[in-house]
Amino acid sequence: MTTMSLPPMPPLCADEVLDRQARAVSELRRRDLRGMIVWGRGSYAQDRNTDITYLTNWHPAGPCLPPTFGRQCEGSGHAALIVTPDERFILFTDDDPAYSPDHLIHADEVEVCTSQSLVGRLCEVAEKVFAGSGSPIMLLGGDAMQWTFWERLAQAVGQGRIFEDYMFGADLRAVKSPREQMLLRRASKVGDIAVDLVMGGIAPGRTDAEVSAPGYAAAARFGARPYLFGILSNPASTYTHTQPSPWDGRRPMEEGNLVRVDFAGNVDGYMLDVARNRVVGDKPTELQRMMTRAACDAVWAGVRAVRAGVTFGEVARSCQASLAKSALLTECPEITIPNWWGHTIGLRAEGPRVMADSDRVLETGMAFAIEQGLRIPGVGLASYEELVIVAPEGYELLTYAKNWMLEVGG
C-alpha cells in the first residue's frame, strides 16, 4: 500500500468564491445581460457540475437515477443555480447540504428540493425572477440538461429567451488563483505516482486490468476520483480505450506490445492528466521508438513555447513543426499532422484549447495540457502528455511521471 501523503490544503475561503461570483456578475453586466441560469449534473465521471461548483462550491453527488424509477427521481443527481438581476445566487439541489457538514456552500439562498421538485422549483423561481422583460437569459450547462427539462424551462421564462455561451464559464475559470495552482500541483503529483506505478508493473502475461489496478487504487487512496484511466496494450486496436471496460481484463500483454496509459481524474476537484508509453520487455522496435519519440518531442516543443503573451495557436504550431520534421513523418508520411494539441485544465478539461488556429493569448496563471496520440494500425498508440502553468517568465511543469521510453527502452 502506498503510504505517501500529500501536504494539506488550506480550505477554500469565502473570498475566493465571492470573487468568482463578482467576476461572473461583472461579465454579465458587460454583456448587458441581467442574469443567468446554471445547470449541473454530478455523480462521478462525465460530471458536468463545474459551472455550479466554481460559483458556489457545491457538487451534486447523488446518483442520476433512470426514468424507470418514475418521475420522483427525475432531477436526481442534478443541481441548478439562478443568478438574479440583483446579483442573488439561488442554488437548487436535491440533496440537503446540511448533511455534508464539511461542505461550505456559497449562495445567498439554498433551496433544498426533492428530486421530483427540483426542475419545477427552478422553473417557478426563474419565471418569477426573469418576469417583466423579454431580454435573453444565458444558460450554462445546457448540454447536461435533458430536453424535457429544457422545454419546461423555456416555457417558464418564455420561448426563445434562452441562449447558451459555451465559453462563458471556461473564460471565467481560465486564469487560476494561487490556491487553484496549488491544487493542480497536488493533483499532478498523484497522477505521476499512479502512472509510475502502472508503467512499472507492465510485464508479459499480465492483463491491462491487472497492471492498472495498483495505480488506480493508489490515486484513490489520495482521495483522487479517476475520470479516465485509458490503458491500451493491444496492437490490434488503435482505439483509445478498450470495450466494454476501460481496461482489458482478458488479454495478457505480450513481449513487444506498445502500452499507452492516459490517466485523468481529480483530487479535491482539480484535474490531473498525464500520458506515458512503455514497450513490454523494454525492447521497442524502430517504429515504436520513432512513434513515441515523435509524440514526446512534439509535446515538448509546445511546452518550450509556453509563455505569457504568445497564443495557443503558436504553441500548437510549435508542436506541429516538431512532428513535421520527425523521423516518424519521414518513415510514415501518410500520418496527418493534427490541429489539436491539448486543453485547459482546472475543475475539468475544457477550453481554451491548444489549437493551431487559435489566437487566444496565454496569460500568467493559465493551466493546460499539451498532448498528442499517434496511432498506427497494427502497431498501436503512442501518447504523451504534460501539464503546464503559464508563469510570468515561461512555464511551470506540473507532470513528472517517468518517461519509460527514454529512461528504460527508448
Partner 1 sequence: MSRLERIEPEISLRDIPPVPREVYLERQARARQLAKHKGLAGFFCWVRGNGTYDRFASLMYLANHIPVSTYRTPDAVNYVGHGSSHAALWLPVEGDVVLFVDKPEHEMSNHLFVADRVVRSPGDLLEAMLPALDEVLPSKGEIGLVGSDVIMAPWYARFPAELRDRWRVTEDAIDVLQQVKVEDELRMSRLAASVASHAMRAVLAAAVPGTTEVSAMGEGYERIIRAGAQIYYASASSGPRQLSLRPDSTLAGTMQMKTGDLAAFEFEIGLEGYVGKIMATTCLGGEPTAEQAEVLAGLDVILQAGVAAAGPGSTAGDIAAACDAASTAQPWATRADTIRPRNWGHGLGMGIGLPEIVTTSRDPLMPGTILFLCAQLAVPGIGRVAKSVEILITETGNELLE
Size of the site for partner 1 (CB under 8 A): 89
- Is residue 223 involved in binding partner 1 (CB under 8 A)? yes
Instruction: In whole angstroms, give the CA distance from residue 404 to residue 410.
Output: 7
- Least CB distance from residue 174 to partner 1, whole Å? 11
Q: Which of 127, 268, 282, 331 binds partner 1 (CB under 8 A)?
A: 268
Q: Where are the beta strands (DSSP E) in 156-283?
A: 162-164, 224-232, 258-267, 270-279
- Least CB distance from residue 86 to partner 1, whole Å? 27
User: What is the β-pairing status of strands 224-232 and 270-279?
Assistant: unpaired
**Side chain identity at 320, as an amino acid letter?**
Q
Residues in 106-145 that interact with partner 1 by CB under 8 A: 142-145
- Least CB distance from residue 310 to partner 1, whole Å? 19
- Least CB distance from residue 95 to partner 1, whole Å? 5
Q: Which of 181, 188, 233, 234 binds partner 1 (CB under 8 A)?
A: 234
Candidate ranges 28-36, 80-88, 221-229, 302-310; the one touching partner 1 (CB under 8 A):
221-229
- Is residue 342 involved in binding partner 1 (CB under 8 A)? no
Kindly report whether the peptide bond that precedes residue 244 is cis, defined as omega within 30 degrees of 0: yes
- Least CB distance from residue 219 to partner 1, whole Å? 9
The distance of Cα 403 from the centroid of its chain, to the nearest Å, equals: 23
Do residues 382 and 284 make contact, with C-beta atoms less than 8 angstroms apart?
no
- Is residue 311 involved in binding partner 1 (CB under 8 A)? no
Instruction: In whole angstroms, give the CA distance from residue 76 to residue 230.
Output: 29
Q: Which of 111, 180, 196, 248 binds partner 1 (CB under 8 A)?
A: 248
What is the contact mask toward partner 1 in residues 151 to 190, using x (rule: CB under 8 A)? -------------x-xx-xx--------------------
- Is residue 74 involved in binding partner 1 (CB under 8 A)? yes
Grid cell digits, residue 62: 447523488
Vertex 121: Cα angle to 118 and 127 (nearest 5): 140
Question: N- to C-terminal Cα distance for the chain?
Answer: 30
The interaxial angle of helices 178-200 and 208-221, nearest 10 deg, is 150
Residues in 199-218 that interact with partner 1 by CB under 8 A: 207, 209-210, 212-214, 216-218
